[in-house]
Amino acid sequence: MPKIELHKVGVIDPSSLTDTVVFSTMLEGGEFATRSFIETEDDPIVIEDGQPIKEFHTRKLTVGGVPNSAVQTQLDTFVTNKTKVTIVGKGLKDNVIIENALLSYLESRTGHASFQIQSSRSGRKGYDENGKLDTEFMVSKNLLAMHKWQEGSVAGLASGWNKSGGATSWSDVSEQQTFSTSGATVVYWYRDLYVPHLAGEEVTFSIVAGGLTTSTTGITIGIVAYDEAGSTIGSESTASADTAGLKSVTRTLPATTNSIRVRVKIGQDDSIPIEAPRLNLGTSTTYNAR
């Protein structure tokens, strides 16, 4: 069974962002030392001619270690209340996001202050009709890969994305999301992600502005950081997206970051066709569909 080692893992209750736990891999014996990894196993089905098709798989996250009292209390609460949490993590190459996860929790039976939590999912390897991963268990370099780049359940709007106003349309032929407005108010096309495990890390948001981009007031892409109270931290990092081509913006996230918003800003009479959005660690702008 292939295994991916993780360096950091965060567990968040989306209904109460102050209920957040972050695990960091540390040396054995150190305070709050942990080990975290993902295991993946294909679940083949056999068709009539005896050929196996690996269309399904099972993924399991395991985090084990030595908690402090506050962490152990929070984990106990998540498990006892059957809280549906969001789990986020980063490895050497890939990012992990698990949505609507229920934790199972094993405490040490030897009297030592240790624990193990697990979360597993089995299902199809692909995306559902609205563009979200069937298992809600993402492993990808692109932090936006929980959703496929396609039209979602809202007509004209890309799967997983939202807008504060303006108009959107989707083209299956060009695989473009067009975002435009004729109103005087500034509006945004955006995506929110929980990233407490990436506090202090450098991330890059990028898109391809396809075809003609019409700018009257100045189109930008940006990264906004929020703390666990939902308050903005510092100033938004932005870059111009007034012309066609690859556009990117990089930000080192503040130490108190709990979540971020990546967004495209337009104003009166602005219009931008968007392709291939990505959010990567470091300064990479390489596109990964999954």
pLDDT, position 229: 93
> Rounded to 10 degrees, what is the CA torsion of 163, 166, 169, 174?
-80
| Count of beta carbons in the 10 Å neighbourhood of residue 197 | 26
pLDDT, position 204: 98
Q: Which CATH architecture has domain 162-281?
A: Sandwich (2.60)
Residue ranges, comma separated, of all CATH 2.30.110 domains in the chain are 3-129+133-140
User: What Å distances lie between residue 258 and 23, 75, 95, 196, 244, CA to CA?
Assistant: 14, 18, 16, 4, 32
The topology (CATH level 3) of 3-129+133-140 is Pnp Oxidase; Chain A (2.30.110)
pLDDT, position 187: 97
H/E run at residue 72: helix 69-80
Token pair 């972050």: residue = 22
pLDDT, position 28: 47
Tens digit of pLDDT per residue, the chain (290 long)? 568 888 888 999 999 888 898 887 754 445 556 788 888 887 666 565 656 666 788 888 888 877 777 887 888 888 889 999 999 999 888 999 999 998 887 665 555 556 788 888 888 788 999 999 999 999 999 999 999 999 999 999 999 999 999 999 999 999 999 999 998 889 999 999 999 999 999 999 999 999 888 999 999 999 999 999 999 999 999 999 999 999 999 999 999 999 999 999 999 999 999 999 999 999 999 988 77
pLDDT, position 108: 57
pLDDT, position 212: 87
DSSP state of 83: -
pLDDT, position 13: 94
**Measured distance CA(58)–CA(36) in Å, rounded:** 17
Residue ranges, comma separated, of all CATH 2.60.120.260 domains in the chain are 162-281
52 close to 45: Cβ distance less than 8 angstroms: yes
Q: What pTM was computed for the model?
A: 0.90
H/E run at residue 87: strand 85-91
Q: Is 71 left (phi over 0), alpha (psi -120 to 50) or beta?
A: alpha
194 close to 146: Cβ distance less than 8 angstroms: no
**Measured distance CA(34)–CA(38) in Å, rounded:** 14
